[in-house]
Amino acid sequence: MASQATSAAPGAGAHAAGSPQALNQIVIEYLSKKGYAKTEAMLRVESAHTDHEGRPILSNLDDQPDVKYEKAYSRSPRLSTSPS
């Protein structure tokens, strides 16, 4: 077992020095090797829409966290429920 751990360490270090994309690739390879197909597929989907720092790429302005917060908590006039 110790030989497996030492043999995996140089391969992991060869990818990069801890960038999110390299880490995702290492995890995807591990999941594939161990047979976790559904988990691997979900990680591929989630990591497909990230920038070079691992943050999600938000294409829609409404997806921005501050815009969502402002919409949710802004004071808007309440609709009256009285019958007309």
- The pLDDT score that the predictor gives to residue 71 is 80
Would 41 be classed as within a structural domain?
A: yes
77 pLDDT above the threshold of 90: no
- The pLDDT score that the predictor gives to residue 32 is 93
Would 80 be classed as within a structural domain?
A: no
Range of the domain at 42: 2-73
Would 84 be classed as within a structural domain?
A: no
Listed range (2-6, 24-28, 62-66, 72-76) with the worst mean pLDDT: 2-6
pTM of the model: 0.47
Would 52 be classed as within a structural domain?
A: yes
Would 11 be classed as within a structural domain?
A: yes
Give me the phi and psi of 53, to 5 degrees please.
-100, 0
- The pLDDT score that the predictor gives to residue 70 is 82
CA atoms within 13 A on the CB side of 77: 3
Count how many domains the chain has.
1
